[in-house]
Amino acid sequence: MHFQVVLNLPDVTDLAQIVALEGNITYDHGGTNTHLALDLMKQQFTSNVNNPKVAILLTDGSSFEQAKTFQSAYNAKRDGVVMFVIGIGDDVNKNEASQISSSPDAKYLFQVSDFGALQSVADQFHKRNCTGN
Protein backbone atom coordinates (compact mmCIF):
# COMPACT_ATOMS: atom_id res chain seq x y z
CA MET A 1 0.00 0.00 0.00
CA HIS A 2 1.17 3.49 -0.81
CA PHE A 3 0.19 6.51 1.23
CA GLN A 4 1.16 10.10 0.75
CA VAL A 5 0.20 13.52 2.02
CA VAL A 6 -1.72 15.26 -0.74
CA LEU A 7 -2.85 18.39 1.08
CA ASN A 8 -1.00 20.29 3.79
CA LEU A 9 -3.02 22.81 5.75
CA PRO A 10 -0.09 25.27 5.95
CA ASP A 11 -0.28 25.50 2.15
CA VAL A 12 -3.79 26.99 2.21
CA THR A 13 -5.42 29.92 3.95
CA ASP A 14 -9.04 28.90 4.47
CA LEU A 15 -11.48 26.00 4.34
CA ALA A 16 -12.98 27.09 1.02
CA GLN A 17 -9.54 26.70 -0.53
CA ILE A 18 -9.18 23.25 1.06
CA VAL A 19 -12.55 22.17 -0.31
CA ALA A 20 -11.57 23.43 -3.78
CA LEU A 21 -8.25 21.57 -3.65
CA GLU A 22 -9.98 18.39 -2.49
CA GLY A 23 -11.38 18.05 -5.98
CA ASN A 24 -7.84 17.47 -7.28
CA ILE A 25 -7.19 14.48 -5.01
CA THR A 26 -7.37 11.18 -6.82
CA TYR A 27 -9.45 8.50 -5.16
CA ASP A 28 -8.29 4.91 -5.32
CA HIS A 29 -11.35 2.73 -4.89
CA GLY A 30 -10.95 -0.28 -2.70
CA GLY A 31 -9.70 -0.29 0.86
CA THR A 32 -10.13 2.26 3.58
CA ASN A 33 -7.30 2.04 6.07
CA THR A 34 -8.23 5.16 8.00
CA HIS A 35 -5.90 4.29 10.87
CA LEU A 36 -2.89 4.42 8.54
CA ALA A 37 -3.97 7.82 7.21
CA LEU A 38 -4.40 9.12 10.76
CA ASP A 39 -0.97 7.82 11.77
CA LEU A 40 0.63 9.46 8.73
CA MET A 41 -1.21 12.70 9.47
CA LYS A 42 0.01 12.70 13.06
CA GLN A 43 3.62 12.33 11.88
CA GLN A 44 3.28 15.52 9.83
CA PHE A 45 2.85 17.76 12.86
CA THR A 46 5.85 19.40 14.45
CA SER A 47 6.50 19.23 18.16
CA ASN A 48 6.30 23.04 18.37
CA VAL A 49 3.56 23.68 20.91
CA ASN A 50 2.86 27.09 19.37
CA ASN A 51 1.67 25.52 16.12
CA PRO A 52 -1.98 24.45 16.18
CA LYS A 53 -2.59 20.84 15.24
CA VAL A 54 -5.78 20.58 13.21
CA ALA A 55 -6.90 17.67 11.04
CA ILE A 56 -9.87 17.42 8.69
CA LEU A 57 -10.86 13.86 7.81
CA LEU A 58 -13.19 13.26 4.86
CA THR A 59 -15.03 9.93 4.88
CA ASP A 60 -17.72 8.37 2.73
CA GLY A 61 -18.00 5.09 4.60
CA SER A 62 -16.13 3.28 7.33
CA SER A 63 -12.67 1.91 7.91
CA PHE A 64 -11.73 -1.73 7.53
CA GLU A 65 -10.10 -1.90 10.94
CA GLN A 66 -12.29 0.11 13.25
CA ALA A 67 -10.43 -0.70 16.49
CA LYS A 68 -7.14 0.49 14.97
CA THR A 69 -8.87 3.61 13.63
CA PHE A 70 -10.28 4.42 17.09
CA GLN A 71 -6.82 3.95 18.62
CA SER A 72 -5.12 6.15 16.01
CA ALA A 73 -7.74 8.88 16.50
CA TYR A 74 -7.37 8.63 20.28
CA ASN A 75 -3.57 8.92 19.98
CA ALA A 76 -3.85 11.99 17.76
CA LYS A 77 -6.33 13.73 20.08
CA ARG A 78 -4.22 12.79 23.12
CA ASP A 79 -1.30 14.54 21.43
CA GLY A 80 -3.33 17.71 20.96
CA VAL A 81 -4.67 17.27 17.43
CA VAL A 82 -8.10 18.82 16.94
CA MET A 83 -10.02 16.39 14.73
CA PHE A 84 -12.74 17.58 12.37
CA VAL A 85 -14.66 14.91 10.45
CA ILE A 86 -16.76 15.51 7.35
CA GLY A 87 -19.05 12.62 6.47
CA ILE A 88 -20.05 12.44 2.81
CA GLY A 89 -23.14 10.56 1.67
CA ASP A 90 -25.46 8.01 3.22
CA ASP A 91 -22.91 5.25 3.85
CA VAL A 92 -20.95 7.05 6.58
CA ASN A 93 -20.51 5.07 9.78
CA LYS A 94 -21.81 7.77 12.11
CA ASN A 95 -20.50 6.08 15.27
CA GLU A 96 -17.02 5.83 13.79
CA ALA A 97 -17.09 9.44 12.59
CA SER A 98 -18.14 10.56 16.06
CA GLN A 99 -15.37 8.52 17.71
CA ILE A 100 -12.75 10.03 15.39
CA SER A 101 -13.85 13.66 15.74
CA SER A 102 -13.05 15.85 18.69
CA SER A 103 -15.91 16.65 21.07
CA PRO A 104 -18.53 17.95 20.92
CA ASP A 105 -19.90 16.57 17.65
CA ALA A 106 -21.93 19.75 17.15
CA LYS A 107 -18.67 21.62 16.58
CA TYR A 108 -16.33 19.03 15.05
CA LEU A 109 -18.54 16.67 13.02
CA PHE A 110 -20.13 17.63 9.70
CA GLN A 111 -22.34 15.72 7.27
CA VAL A 112 -23.02 16.48 3.60
CA SER A 113 -25.04 14.60 0.99
CA ASP A 114 -22.28 14.19 -1.62
CA PHE A 115 -18.85 15.42 -2.66
CA GLY A 116 -20.46 18.27 -4.59
CA ALA A 117 -21.87 19.63 -1.34
CA LEU A 118 -18.46 20.06 0.31
CA GLN A 119 -18.45 23.77 -0.47
CA SER A 120 -21.35 24.21 1.96
CA VAL A 121 -19.10 22.94 4.76
CA ALA A 122 -16.90 26.03 4.47
CA ASP A 123 -19.78 28.25 5.58
CA GLN A 124 -20.83 25.84 8.34
CA PHE A 125 -17.23 25.55 9.51
CA HIS A 126 -16.83 29.31 9.76
CA LYS A 127 -20.15 29.71 11.57
CA ARG A 128 -19.44 26.93 14.12
CA ASN A 129 -15.82 27.73 14.80
CA CYS A 130 -15.48 31.46 14.36
CA THR A 131 -18.74 32.73 15.83
CA GLY A 132 -19.14 30.22 18.64
CA ASN A 133 -22.39 28.75 17.22
Q: Which of 132, 131, 84 is nearest to 112 (CA)?
A: 84
pLDDT value at residue 132: 45
pLDDT for 4 beyond 80: no
Q: What is the pTM of this model?
A: 0.76
Mean pLDDT, to the nearest integer, of 7-12? Answer: 63
Per-residue pLDDT of 20-59, as tens digits, reads: 666 666 666 666 889 998 998 888 776 667 777 888 888 8
Contacts of residue 132, Cβ cutoff 8 Å, sequence gap at least 6: none
- Greater confidence, 42 or 6? 42
Q: What pLDDT does residue 130 have?
A: 52
CA 9 vs CA 18, 37, 71, 106: distances in Å:
8, 15, 23, 22
Query: What pLDDT is attached to residue 95?
Result: 95
Please list the residues that pair with 17 across neighbouring strands: none
For residue range 59-112, list pLDDT tens digits in order.
Answer: 888 898 999 999 999 999 998 899 999 998 999 999 999 999 999 999 899 999
CATH architecture of 9-26+33-41+51-130: 3-Layer(aba) Sandwich (3.40)
**13/78: higher pLDDT:** 78
Q: How confident is the model at residue 131 (pLDDT cuts 50, 70, 90)?
A: very low
**Is the confidence at residue 114, as pLDDT, over 90?**
no
